[in-house]
Amino acid sequence: MIRIICRDAVGNVGVDVPVTELPHLLADKDTQLWVDMQGASNGDYERVLAQVFHFHPLAIEDALRDTHLPKLDDYASYLYLVFHTVNLGDEPMDMDTEEVDVFLGVNFLVTIHEAERRSINRCWNAEHHAEVGLARGPAMLLYELLDSQIDNYIPLIDAFEAQLEKLGDDIFHSNEAERDMLNRLLTAKSSALRLQRILTPQRELLGRLSTGEYRVVPTQVRMYYRDVYDHLARLANLSDSMRDLASSTIETHLALVNNRMNEVMKVLTMVSTIFIPLSFIAGVYGMNFHFMPELDVWWAYPLVWAVFISIAITMLIIFRRRKWL
């Protein structure tokens, strides 16, 4: 789906303008344009990007397929940007990211994404662009979208951090099955690594927008990008700490599993140690010799049991004194 908002020099705002009007609107340098492409890419997307906007083929190729990492390419008359949104996944401790591709020009903004974005839908009305949005230019509109999206990051990442800390407590107290616990831990670590891979380059991208000399970014807009950069810097640092926390939680969990295994092995070893002398005595008197005087005495059987019990009690006392029990 391709939808268009335009604002002319007088201030008139048109919403959902037909795509056929796009070449005419783009030719008018006093008209500000926002073109939003939502859903899976198709031939119409490529035709508009190549034949109407005349974007570079490499930029079009990247825009119509997932590149997976945030990036910024300067094509002099326009910028091509890739940034990612963050969403909760289907599984516990899972965080998903979705790519949004952007072309920013002097008088136009093009956004490309698959799923609906609330930050975009909130701005898709004529009233919004009467005073803000396109009224302040495409660069400021991009700032509004980025700022709104990053504001949505903060509660999600804070909630993820709280879940991760709770997961660290659960490994000591939870009766959850071993496989389920390990799955939650590995999912948390994978999500933390994914956030770090997204937020760190995205922070650098905003840093370049706030300090770089780009023709399509007016000087007075750069300070706004700097504000978004500061938010992303905090989140990127937080993702680093969450990655370390997830790794240390997994290491602690594995150490606890090994400790429990060692406790089991210690008990089994002590039981085996107690039965070694008992097995020796039982083996001696289990031999089929005719001349074993003890076998003809009535008290021999209870004596053997007394020896068995004495040996077991003595070894348990020794284990206790050595604090093996």
* Same structural domain, 173 and 271: no
For residue 93, what pLDDT band results from cuts at 50, 70 and 90?
A: low
* Same structural domain, 294 and 232: no
Token pair listed for 3: 């939808």
* Structural domains counted in the chain: 2
176: amino acid identity, one letter: E
User: Is residue 45 scored above 80 in pLDDT?
Assistant: yes
For the sheet containing 13-15, what is the strand order? Answer: 13-15, 2-7, 32-38, 108-113, 95-105, 78-88, 71-74
Token pair listed for 30: 């006093």
Last residue of a domain, one of 201, 236, 257: 257
* Same structural domain, 224 and 311: no
Q: What are phi and psi of 111, to 5 degrees?
A: -120, 140
Query: Which of 31, 78, 24, 82 shows the shortest CA–CA distance to 55?
Result: 78
Give me the domain span that covers residue 285: 266-321
* Same structural domain, 161 and 293: no
Residue 81's beta-bridge partner residues?
Answer: 72, 102
- Between β-strands 32-38 and 108-113, what pairing exists: parallel, antiparallel or unpaired? parallel
State mean pLDDT over 125-140. Answer: 87
Instruction: Tell me the per-residue pLDDT of 15-29, one tens digit each, with 9 for 90 and over.
Output: 888 888 888 888 888
| Per-residue pLDDT, 163 | 77
Please give the model's pTM, rounded to 2 decimal places: 0.75
* Same structural domain, 231 and 305: no
Q: How far apart are CA 185 and CA 91, in angstroms?
A: 12
Domain with residue 129: its CATH number is 3.30.460.20
| Per-residue pLDDT, 305 | 86
Query: Which of 210, 57, 52, 55 shows the shortest CA–CA distance to 142?
Result: 210
* Same structural domain, 213 and 270: no
| Per-residue pLDDT, 68 | 66
For residue 83, what pLDDT band results from cuts at 50, 70 and 90?
A: confident
* Same structural domain, 217 and 138: yes
Helix, strand, coil share (%) of the chain residues, nearest 5: 60, 15, 25
Last residue of a domain, one of 257, 274, 303: 257
* Same structural domain, 113 and 204: yes
Instruction: Tell me the per-residue pLDDT of 141-185, one tens digit each, with 9 for 90 and over.
Output: 999 998 888 887 777 777 777 777 777 777 777 666 667 777 778
* Same structural domain, 219 and 317: no
State mean pLDDT over 78-104. Answer: 81
* Same structural domain, 252 and 285: no
Instruction: Tell me the per-residue pLDDT of 217-276, one tens digit each, with 9 for 90 and over.
Output: 888 888 898 988 888 888 888 877 778 888 888 888 788 888 888 888 888 888 888 888
- Tell me if residue 58 falls in helix, strand or coil: helix
Domain with residue 283: its CATH number is 1.20.58.340
State mean pLDDT over 59-88. Answer: 84
User: Is residue 109 scored above 90 in pLDDT?
Assistant: yes
* Same structural domain, 189 and 273: no
| Per-residue pLDDT, 160 | 77
